[in-house]
Copies of this chain bind each other. A is one copy, B any other.
Amino acid sequence: MTKKDQPYKSALHEQDGVEPPKTLSSNSAKSIQTKRKKQPSVEELVNGIISGNITDLSRAITLVESTNTKHANKSHDIITACLPRANKSIRIGITGVPGVGKSTFIEAFGSYLTNIGKKVAVLAVDPSSTLSKGSILGDKTRMEDLVKDKNAFIRPSPSGDSLGGVARKTRETIILCEAAGFDTIIIETVGVGQSETAVHSMVDFFLLLKLAGAGDELQGIKRGIIEMADAIVINKADGDNLKAAKTAKVEFNRALHLYPEKESGWSPKVSLCSALKKEGISDVWELIQDYITTTSSNDYFEHNRNNQNKFWLLQTIEERLKSNFYKSPKIKAELDAQIQLVEAGKTTPFAAAEYLLSLS
């Protein structure tokens, strides 16, 4: 994160309610206050975003990510103002286990896209970053070309106390990036908890990055990820690895063939690439273009986005209902005791649930 992203952490920032020392002459104080850049208004930030100003985009994202309740209204107003200019991009989710080469792939793929005239935003959903204080994409040096590219914007994962919170911030950030003119949004995630499911629910196209191995192709990949994938891209398909990668391609194609047809009408594809050697990158983009053609002509593309919106609306409501219930002191005090009674065979799960519901 650059200093420009942190307008509220500047040493020059004046805390509300803190009086300037009496020894400061009122004239010099006035002069300093005039020179000091004031915090941009909602309108200024929105205009900046729409004109493609990256500093303003970053500032607005910082507001979206802020846990300060004072920022919530401002961020809400910015997002609402950006909405009419959002929605006009292709959103691509990329997942894969650590070591598969996600950063190298995104670097190669993103650079390819900016070379053909695209504006690329790279975001991340990493719920573990809250605990580890680290974050995927945090180390921008792993994408040294893309980070210098004026048509690319890279933002590490927001932190949050729940996956729902992290996902919400990323979804709102997508809107801001789209309003700023980014036409290709890449969202990276690793297999932590339900993060792939969350990312799958906010993208148009879901790409699983894999390595060819010795028969353990699915090792470490959680159940269900394969089913979500619109494409499996086997990375590091170069040199001595090429033969194994080709074998893996056959196996994955066979495995995908066993799944029933997707609602999108799209048959998931398997593709080989070497992100390091920048080989097979254009194939991935062609594949995504094919996907857009297929799903635009059968209206699934729009249908899916509407469903995703509805999903997030209901999901937000239901998460809040649950969290309000389980956070209530009465429930906290009784839940474990009821679970133990169920485990000991003294009551049924249903009777225990009725009892707990009667307390709220």
Show the binding face of A for B, using Cβ within 8 Å: 76, 79-80, 83-84, 86-87, 168, 171-172, 175, 217-224, 226-227, 251, 254-255, 258-260, 306, 309-314, 316-318, 320-322, 325, 338-339, 342-343, 345-354, 356-357
Cβ 8 A contact of A321, one of B218, B254, B325:
B325
Q: What are 23 residue pairs bridging A and B, where the CB atoms are less than 8 Å apart in the complex?
A: A79-B348, A83-B348, A87-B345, A171-B348, A171-B349, A172-B348, A219-B260, A223-B259, A223-B260, A224-B224, A224-B227, A227-B227, A251-B258, A306-B343, A309-B342, A310-B342, A310-B349, A317-B325, A317-B357, A318-B318, A318-B321, A320-B353, A321-B325
Residues of B within 8 A of A222 (CB): 260
CA distance A352 to B320 in the complex (A): 13
Given contacts A227-B224, A342-B309, A357-B320, A347 and B172 within 8 Å (CB-CB): no
Contact B347 A217 (CB under 8 A): no
Name, among A224, A309, A357, the residue most crowded by chain B CB atoms within 10 Å (CB to CB).
Answer: A309
- Closest chain B residue, CB of each to CB of A346: B83
Known: A318-B322, A321-B321. 9 other contacts (CB 8 A): A83-B347, A171-B350, A221-B260, A309-B342, A310-B339, A313-B339, A313-B353, A317-B357, A320-B357
Contact A313 B349 (CB under 8 A): yes
- Copies assembled: 2
- Closest chain B residue, CB of each to CB of A356: B317
Cβ 8 A contact of A350, one of B316, B343, B349, B357:
B316
Given contacts A217-B258, A218-B258, A321-B322, A347 and B80 within 8 Å (CB-CB): yes
Least Cβ–Cβ distance between A355 and chain B, in angstroms: 10
Cβ 8 A contact of A258, one of B224, B255, B312, B316:
B255
